Chains A and B, each alone.
Chain A
């Protein structure tokens, strides 16, 4: 019953996770593993952002707020529990996700009632208000002084591994949700909302419910990453826990890789996080780093707003079409051989590959 292409997708997905799964044994260097941990963090967050920013077309600029909420929630665990094996805090992650998801539900219920502009504004405002709160609610956050968290009792040689695998698990969850969304009517609803929300509402799509669910799941996952980050870093400062640059990085990665695709956000994260680390090392001072980042962002937005995955898909599609024409077969006709990818669900296929060709 499965099409060869969907089989290929499964192989691709399994292969990807197997490679990432054995990677820690292949590269003992801590600095590489450190980069990998951060890359995974961003891959999870970009995939999560993509649910609402990509599939639904509601660009949230406030995800960093939920990252921070996750980080500070993790600290709450440490204030009430003591560490034994080091793995207990990870069990707390689902609670963090649930809590952030509920907060997201409340914010979304207000911000998602009208249009994407208003949503973007409310979310970015939420980001800055959360940052202000992180500075001001000293009882909870110790303000600008920051907090430090107990050092995890993991052996030094394999210190990164627990974090790495928890994040890998989160990535599997995030990508699994995206994959499920693309194959279900839920994803179809999101695509309809993105294309023409009024019309979608008019034909009975549960517009608000679907949007809210996407946002809630998305920020829940992001908060869980925030929790892992806090535990991994061992300290929380407001300016890093609630950082506009985190938002911009997530968005940029998703756009670079390709919105509303399964692999786009992951590819974007892989590419950019490594670039980012390089930039941070070579340019040192954070000011030049900011300029470089902003410029990369602008260039991507202006030159490749579609992103890598959809561009490649477009290219392949056109090539396939050309080879069909060259082969002398009737091009468009009763049995159109140029099969648009969107309906046969395979990994990495865009629901919106046609975007920009209409």
Chain B
């Protein structure tokens, strides 16, 4: 019982950072109908950037977030403009999967060359402090990570719901055709949407770097987790991504705490298959399958 509750606490605290990564991923899908397989690599790249800022200049990763988000936003826009925009519309969704996969490998290669493949971790002074609440361990880092992720998600929410740009993005997500008719420049929205998705990956990456040791190959593990979250919640639904992150993260943590850590790494896949069996469109997804 104790292990179960401890697992639940850990799962919920970890869910924040996954929710952040996944909302960027699902946002990109919503705006461009592109499944970004490079999202995980972008997260890891940003973790490396934070690592570099920390080791070279002693900048705390949490304070580095503004810098990494800007860098990754630009990178996201560049990826969109250079690699995705030239694809022909009729097979864009199919080719974009492969192109973003290639971008992920490219980033992986660049990271391995720059930082080698040995595992890195960011050891801040508070990395090991924790509290004990009623017999349950809560580490400071995880709590910070959780709160910051929630804050970043809040900013994303405000951006999408309270600004003109956000309205344009949401209109594009709901109906690209009518958004175009209303004067939304879809090319610009796509570029910015991809940039925003990358920026959330950046914020999440700085936090991720604090929580876990990582190397250039870590994005494989991340991407499968992220994709499961996004599919679970329903492609294109940010709320769904948050719920999906909660489900995946708590169930993995609970399985790790109660059964075995090695099985926890495939818990999400089993859950994903079960959900798809019952609801092929995901929990909050729509059945939209192109215009009928």
Direct contact of A and B (CB under 8 A): yes
Enumerate chain A interface residues (CB-CB to B < 8 A): 57, 59, 61, 107, 110-111, 113-118, 120-122, 124-129, 131-133, 136, 198, 244-245, 248, 251, 255, 286-291, 293-295, 297-298, 301-302, 305, 355-356
Interface of A is mostly: helix
Which one, B98, B105, B110, contacts A59 given CB within 8 A?
Answer: B98
Contact B289 A298 (CB under 8 A): no
Known contacts A120-B35, A198-B290, A294-B109; A125/B272 CB under 8 A: yes
Interface residues of B in 248-292 (CB under 8 A from A): 262-263, 265-266, 269, 272-273, 276-277, 280-281, 289-290, 292
Chain B interface residue count, CB cutoff 8 Å, equals: 50
For the complex, give the distance between the alpha carbons of A220 and B283 in Å.
Answer: 32
Q: Which residues of A contact B228 (CB under 8 A)?
A: 121, 125
Which one, B87, B98, B262, B265, contacts A297 given CB within 8 A?
Answer: B98
Q: List 27 interface pairs A-B (beta carbons < 8 Å), by A numbering.
A: A57-B94, A59-B97, A61-B37, A61-B97, A110-B273, A113-B276, A113-B280, A114-B281, A114-B289, A118-B280, A120-B97, A121-B231, A122-B276, A125-B227, A125-B272, A129-B266, A245-B105, A251-B98, A287-B112, A287-B113, A288-B113, A290-B106, A290-B108, A297-B98, A298-B106, A302-B83, A305-B88
Give the residue name and chain of the A residue nearest to B113 (CB): A287
Contact A198 B289 (CB under 8 A): yes
Known contacts A128-B224, A288-B109, A305-B88; A297/B102 CB under 8 A: yes
Nearest-Cβ distance from residue B217 to partner chain A, whole angstroms: 9
Decide yes or no whether B54 CB sits under 8 A from chain A: no
For the complex, give the distance between the alpha carbons of A61 and B227 in Å.
Answer: 13
Interface residues of B in 221-241 (CB under 8 A from A): 221, 223-224, 227-228, 230-231, 235
Known contacts A125-B227, A291-B110, A298-B83; A117/B35 CB under 8 A: yes
Which one, A132, A133, A294, contacts B102 given CB within 8 A?
Answer: A294
Known contacts A110-B277, A114-B281; A294/B105 CB under 8 A: yes
Which one, A59, A124, A129, A198, contacts B292 given CB within 8 A?
Answer: A198
Nearest-Cβ distance from residue B51 to partner chain A, whole angstroms: 18
Q: Which residues of B contact A57 (CB under 8 A)?
A: 94
| Shortest beta-carbon contacts, A-B, top 7 | A290-B109, A291-B109, A294-B106, A128-B224, A136-B262, A287-B112, A297-B102
Q: Which residues of B contact A305 (CB under 8 A)?
A: 87-88, 91, 95
Contact A124 B223 (CB under 8 A): yes
* Contact digits for B93-119, partner A, Cβ 8 Å, 1 yes 0 no: 111011101110110111011000100
Q: Which residues of B contact A117 (CB under 8 A)?
A: 29, 33, 35, 93, 97, 235
Give the residue name and chain of the A residue nearest to B112 (CB): A287
For the complex, give the distance between the alpha carbons of A249 and B35 in Å.
Answer: 20
For the complex, give the distance between the alpha carbons of A122 and B263 in Å.
Answer: 18
Decide yes or no whether B183 CB sits under 8 A from chain A: no
Give the residue name and chain of the B residue nearest to A244 (CB): B220
For the complex, give the distance between the alpha carbons of A245 and B87 in Å.
Answer: 23
For the complex, give the distance between the alpha carbons of A131 and B273 in Å.
Answer: 17
Decide yes or no whether B135 CB sits under 8 A from chain A: no
For the complex, give the distance between the alpha carbons of A121 and B91 in Å.
Answer: 17
Contact A301 B99 (CB under 8 A): yes
A127, A248, A255, A287 pick with most chain B CB within 10 angstroms? A287
Q: Which residues of B contact A126 (CB under 8 A)?
A: 269
Known contacts A129-B266, A132-B266, A295-B106; A122/B88 CB under 8 A: no
Decide yes or no whether B134 CB sits under 8 A from chain A: no
For the complex, give the distance between the alpha carbons of A113 and B278 in Å.
Answer: 11
Q: Which residues of A contact B110 (CB under 8 A)?
A: 291
Nearest-Cβ distance from residue B179 to partner chain A, whole angstroms: 20
Which one, B98, B223, B273, B277, contacts A301 given CB within 8 A?
Answer: B98
Nearest-Cβ distance from residue A323 to partner chain B, whole angstroms: 29
Nearest-Cβ distance from residue A149 to partner chain B, whole angstroms: 24
Contacts A117-B97, A136-B265, A248-B105 supplied; 8 other A-B pairs, CB < 8 Å: A61-B97, A124-B223, A125-B224, A125-B228, A287-B112, A295-B106, A298-B103, A301-B95
Contact B93 A116 (CB under 8 A): yes
For the complex, give the distance between the alpha carbons of A291 and B103 in Å.
Answer: 9
Interface residues of B in 105-144 (CB under 8 A from A): 105-106, 108-110, 112-113, 117
Q: Which residues of B contact A287 (CB under 8 A)?
A: 109, 112-113, 117
Known contacts A113-B280, A290-B109, A305-B88; A122/B101 CB under 8 A: no
For the complex, give the distance between the alpha carbons of A244 and B283 in Å.
Answer: 28
Which one, B35, B105, B231, B269, contacts A290 given CB within 8 A?
Answer: B105
Give the residue name and chain of the B residue nearest to A202 (CB): B292
* Contact digits for B46-64, partner A, Cβ 8 Å, 1 yes 0 no: 0000000000000000000
For the complex, give the distance between the alpha carbons of A13 and B112 in Å.
Answer: 43
Which one, A114, A122, A128, A355, contacts B220 given CB within 8 A?
Answer: A128
Known contacts A61-B97, A294-B102, A298-B99; A356/B289 CB under 8 A: no
Nearest-Cβ distance from residue B100 to partner chain A, whole angstroms: 10
Known contacts A128-B224, A298-B83; A61/B280 CB under 8 A: no
Nearest-Cβ distance from residue A291 to partner chain B, whole angstroms: 4
Q: Which residues of A contact B223 (CB under 8 A)?
A: 124, 128
For the complex, give the distance between the alpha carbons of A287 and B94 in Å.
Answer: 27
